[in-house]
Amino acid sequence: MRTATSGPPRSGGTPAGAPLPPGPRLWATLQTVRWLRSSTSYMDRCRARYGDMFTLNLVAKAAAGPAADRGRGRWVFLADPAHVRQVFTADPATVRTGDTNRFLAPLVGASSILLTDEPQHAKQRRLLLPPLHGERLMGYGELMSDVAEAELARWPIGEPFALWPRMQAITLEVVVRAVFGIGEPRRLAYVTGLLRTMLDRMTSPRWLAAQALLATAAHDRTGALSGAARRLVGPVDRVVLAEIARRRAAPDLDRHGDLLSLLVQAEYEDGTAMGDGELRDELMTLLIAGHESTATALAWAFELLLRHPDGPARLADEADADRDEYADAVVKETLRLRPVLPFVLRSLGRPMEIGGHPLPAGTWLAPCAYLIHRREDLYPEPLRFLPERFVGRPAGGSTWLPFGGGVRRCLGASFAQLEMRRVLQTVITRAELVPAETEPEPPRSRFITVAPSRGARVVMKSRRARTPRSAPRTWMPG
Ligand code: HEM
């Protein structure tokens, strides 16, 4: 076994022979074990040792599929905002994303927006973006508060429980209702139940281990499903395709406000519309991207806010006065300190020089929100949860990156922030919550997100009756 030393690693050599930025010289398997034990601590240690640009050699080839062969599991982490800006604003033919998301193909389907690159990706974004922004978005605010209200009524008083699964229930119901417009309770329970089962199985350690071992058999470049994946996704697929058929047959489609109805009517620039397969893939993408990440971010928001002196009281006071500034700051600070997706991935379609390092085509880059958010020069006392730093101050374009950036920036960023504000406001104004344990919860990696290790355990001391809102709330778009 080799030991960690500084300087350019031999193992960091590229197919073209140029050395990648420095990084640990351990075998890839050992680096992967350390990464799996705690990806965040490993990133912290590597940044302290190698600086703002370092290379990890991870056993990621199998999990990412054949397209990763060129990257060979070596990821160049970027923790300097100037380097990340350069990547996010680069020509899309040079900096690509589809290949790096290939491992999601069994779940989201080969034509998902997550897996395509320009020019197809831009066409898909033009269709998917409008229903998730502006006026349309505001229409979902009441739905979010109502779902949170109903969920809160089911929580026990005086007993410890984990908030994370409760947040998953809220965000799953919100996204299913927003996407499909299903309000009928039995059908809603059926659809959310199917999705929950699929997601729980696909993010279980057993499934992930099987994926890592069998990934190349599980899907090919076109994203064809393996038998195991098909058994898990099949029932959800059938429900999604049935909803698409129902919507296509609806005589009053233009009166529906749900995302599916809008997408069925949407047209590409050449006047064509999405086929059933494309619609299925985009809907699965929205359902999956739209629920787990928001639930985890909400669990972190409660875990951090409930330990912050005066935080809950200030958020409740402002909510009662129909003001959103502090809630918005809590959301931004939560996503700064605990970005649920700590980094994004890009692959180089052509050579590129970053920070004096010539990087050959095929290199994988990891613009790293987690490390940038912890820079003392950008955020004084970076390890403290201080929502006040965002009150009256907008988040910086290349210094606050929980939603990634450039042409791939999260399509649901505004939706997610609205949902986080509404759920926080509903719960904090209606319930007195305290942390169940005195020790703060450390981060723990789960699938591709980083969640509170104990699931954000709390005790609800009391619950209050609902107070009607006087007027629609104002809010700051993310
Ligand atoms: C707190 C919650 C969320 C977080 C932290 C989050 C984060 C992210 C990140 C980091 C990316 C990758 C961006 C990049 O590669 O530069 C992404 C992409 C995406 N997200 Fe989210 N997301 C959240 C919620 C949502 C919601 C609610 C939806 C939809 C309803 C959504 C839909 C998407 C889609 C469709 C993409 C792919 C965009 C593209 O490739 O063009 N996300 N998200």
Q: Which value does ipTM take for this structure?
A: 0.99
> Angle at the Cα of 38 (from 361 to 364), degrees rounded to 5?
5
> Distance between CA atoms of 435 and 416, rounded to whole angstroms?
24
> Distance between CA atoms of 113 and 80, rounded to whole angstroms?
28
How are the residues of the chain apportioned to helix, strand and coil, as percentages rounded to the nearest 5? 50, 10, 35
* Tokens describing residue 311: 């935080």
Asked if 71 and 17 count as a contact pair (C-beta separation under 8 A), the reply is: no
* Tokens describing residue 428: 């904090």
Asked if 94 and 349 count as a contact pair (C-beta separation under 8 A), the reply is: yes
**Cα 404 to averaged position of ligand 1 atoms, centre (Å):** 8
Any ligand 1 atom below 6 A from CB of 25: no
Any ligand 1 atom below 6 A from CB of 369: no
Question: Which residue matches tokens 């994926």?
Answer: 211
Asked if 299 and 128 count as a contact pair (C-beta separation under 8 A), the reply is: no
Helix (H, G, I), strand (E, B) or coil at 301: helix
DSSP secondary structure code for residue 379 in this structure = S
Asked if 311 and 435 count as a contact pair (C-beta separation under 8 A), the reply is: no
H helix runs in 181-275, sequence order:
185-202, 205-218, 227-249, 259-265
What contacts 90, CB < 8 A, 6 or more positions away?
352, 406
Mode of pairing for the β-strands spanning 352-354 and 95-96: unpaired
> Distance between CA atoms of 445 and 474, rounded to whole angstroms?
35
Counting ligand 1 atoms within 8 A of each CB, the residue from 410, 424, 450 with the most, and so the one to mutate, is 410
> Distance between CA atoms of 477 and 13, rounded to whole angstroms?
43
Compute CA 113 distance to the chain's CA centroid, rounded to the nearest angstrom. Answer: 14
Any ligand 1 atom below 6 A from CB of 410: yes
* Tokens describing residue 443: 């981060």
Distances (CA, A) of 358 to 17, 92, 181, 224: 11, 18, 50, 35
**Cα 236 to averaged position of ligand 1 atoms, centre (Å):** 21
- Phi, psi (degrees; rounded to nearest 5) at 65: 90, 180
Helix (H, G, I), strand (E, B) or coil at 349: coil
H helix runs in 130-184, sequence order:
134-138, 140-152, 163-180
> Distance between CA atoms of 75 and 53, rounded to whole angstroms?
10
**Cα 293 to averaged position of ligand 1 atoms, centre (Å):** 8
Asked if 65 and 347 count as a contact pair (C-beta separation under 8 A), the reply is: no
Dihedral sign, CA of 209, 365, 347, 342?
positive
Counting ligand 1 atoms within 8 A of each CB, the residue from 403, 408, 449 with the most, and so the one to mutate, is 403
Dmax (CA) for the chain in angstroms is: 68
Splitting the chain (478 residues) into consecutive groups of 10 residues, what average pLDDT does each group show? 35 57 89 86 95 88 45 84 97 91 83 93 90 83 94 95 96 91 86 86 65 48 57 84 88 81 86 89 90 94 95 94 95 97 94 93 94 97 96 91 96 95 96 95 82 94 68 37
Cα–Cα nearest to 174, from 294, 264, 255? 294
**Cα 126 to averaged position of ligand 1 atoms, centre (Å):** 15
* Tokens describing residue 116: 């395509």
Q: Which atom of ligand 1 is nearest to the CA of 341?
A: 10
Quote the pLDDT of residue 303. Answer: 97
Cα–Cα nearest to 415, from 206, 184, 178? 178
Quote the pLDDT of residue 431. Answer: 94
Quote the pLDDT of residue 209. Answer: 59
**Cα 174 to averaged position of ligand 1 atoms, centre (Å):** 16
> Distance between CA atoms of 343 and 213, rounded to whole angstroms?
24
Domain residue extents for the chain: 1-89+345-401
Question: Which residue matches tokens 């074990």?
Answer: 33
Dihedral sign, CA of 294, 300, 306, 309?
negative
Asked if 18 and 25 count as a contact pair (C-beta separation under 8 A), the reply is: no
Cα–Cα nearest to 348, from 117, 123, 126, 120? 117
Any ligand 1 atom below 6 A from CB of 133: no
**Cα 9 to averaged position of ligand 1 atoms, centre (Å):** 34
Quote the pLDDT of residue 408. Answer: 95
Contacts by 192-195 with C-beta closer than 8 Å and gap 24+?
Answer: 194/235, 194/236, 194/239, 195/236, 195/287, 195/291
